[in-house]
Structure 1
């Protein structure tokens, strides 16, 4: 007779909305203990209540000490983190003429540095347990170039590179390290971008949406649940041979 697997403690950064929220919901539906994270304690607490999560932490991920402290609180409340999903991040846009080192640093601080901070915070306990899963939500911008998002693209390429390096370093420890790279996804981030572009250019929202979907051979945006399903599989007990991968969830774009 097979026994029911014990719930695992899952921490998902940037899980108060969008793809991160879908990922948190998927793990909760699978029976795991999920700690959700938001930029503020209030946004995290709201997500916890709405999703039925086991815990909530709030921290600005660009502040390393605050993120470390918040993860420590999550461990104190729900035990060692067994699955870490690095989802927090964001993009900035603009042509080369407006791209400067400060913007590049901001994108690295938001998209790359928190991955390292959170990973270092949870790896010692994973090593001690002899098992662990680390999945980072990167982007197709980590696998190819996009015009007008140079700093964001550079940061996501760095995320993929860090993923591959850490996977090799941790190989044999029982810890796998992978990245999931969504294409343009149906989230409020894209929705907000469309509204701003429509106001700025005077173009119809539907026409602007076509600019995003035309790069996807399926001709549509990626659903957050499709990304969540990939993360859930990579975190599964039978995905132990999957490490150092950057999997595109992009409808054939890559």
Structure 2
């Protein structure tokens, strides 16, 4: 059984966020999804009546505060938060501008903090709740040419561990899932970037990325969603402060 009745999933319009939102809704949970593209959000909401869509930018504290106010007025207290919204850009560290660095940290790290912050007080008072960060294997190891992304995802894992320690006696659990390359729009962006910069074919670019997984494949969004669903269940009540690698053995 899932703990709670109302979940917030950021970046819910595509990929992993979409899969998580649908999985929670199919488990009987009311789900509020947010993102910056209303049309994408509405398309996901149209697939399950338990899902509602609110456009919001996770880097803006006022926007997240307004999101919570609207969502909780409509559907009750948010007792599951999945901080999934993220972005990635690639390039050598010495060519990374301060603006590019800051934008990545704003979305991936600060956005994650702003997403969960409004839920903490209510969850701890109710002595129940689930917080799940969607991080990455890049939060557990280093990769070349994505320094801002790696730094931001390491920060997300650190944030998760700090919050888990703070709320450990309250009945609230805080965890992170850390997938390797996931079959998603972000993966396709990475493939196209490799094609442009190296002259490799799409098949060669995909093969080079899938080879990072010892199983030789990409993680599927539904695999990430299933792990999130379990972390939100009563069965995972003793699991907190964990960074769970979904990588075919690449990291642990």
TM-score bin, normalised by smaller chain: over 0.9
| Deviates most, 223-232 or 189-198 | 189-198
Q: Would you say the 8 A contact 2:13–2:37 is kept in 1?
A: no
Work out the CA distance in 2 between the residues paired with 1:178 and 1:130: 16
Q: Which one of the candidate residues 209, 213, 224 is aligned to 2:210?
A: 213
TM-score w.r.t. length of structure 1 = 0.94
Residue ranges of structure 2 left out of the alignment (5+ in a row)? none
Distance 1:99 1:171, change over 3 A: same
Work out the CA distance in 2 between the residues paired with 1:247 and 1:5: 19
CA deviation string 1:11-62 (max 9, x = no partner): 1110100001011111111111111112133332222113433321111112
Residue 250 (structure 1) aligned with residue 251 (structure 2): no
| Distance apart, 1:148 and its partner CA | 0.1
| Distance apart, 1:228 and its partner CA | 0.6
Q: Residue in 1 aligned with 2:167?
A: 170
| Distance apart, 1:136 and its partner CA | 0.4
Q: Which one of the candidate residues 183, 188, 192 is aligned to 2:189?
A: 192
Q: Which one of the candidate residues 6, 11, 16 is aligned to 1:9?
A: 6
The two structures, once aligned, show a CA RMSD in angstroms of: 1.6
Q: Residue in 2 aligned with 1:47?
A: 44
Q: Residue in 2 aligned with 1:57?
A: 54
Q: Residue in 2 aligned with 1:126?
A: 123
Work out the CA distance in 2 between the residues paired with 1:16 and 1:230: 19
Distance 1:95 1:196, change over 3 A: closer
Q: Which one of the candidate residues 8, 22, 27 is aligned to 1:25?
A: 22
Work out the CA distance in 2 between the residues paired with 1:104 and 1:225: 30
Q: Would you say the 8 A contact 1:7–1:31 is kept in 2?
A: no
| Deviates most, 182-191 or 38-47 | 38-47
Q: Higher RCO, 1 or 2 (CA under 8 Å, sep at least 6)? A: 2
Residue ranges of structure 1 left out of the alignment (5+ in a row)? none
Work out the CA distance in 1 between the residues paired with 2:217 and 2:144: 20
Q: Residue in 1 aligned with 2:75?
A: 78
Work out the CA distance in 2 between the residues paired with 1:144 and 1:62: 25
Q: Would you say the 8 A contact 1:42–1:58 is kept in 2?
A: no
| Distance apart, 1:7 and its partner CA | 6.5
| Distance apart, 1:6 and its partner CA | 8.6
| Deviates most, 240-249 or 97-106 | 97-106
- Counterpart secondary structure, 1:121: helix
Q: Would you say the 8 A contact 1:57–1:71 is kept in 2?
A: no
Q: Would you say the 8 A contact 1:54–1:78 is kept in 2?
A: no
Work out the CA distance in 1 between the residues paired with 2:179 and 2:30: 25
Residue 138 (structure 1) aligned with residue 135 (structure 2): yes
Residue 68 (structure 1) aligned with residue 65 (structure 2): yes
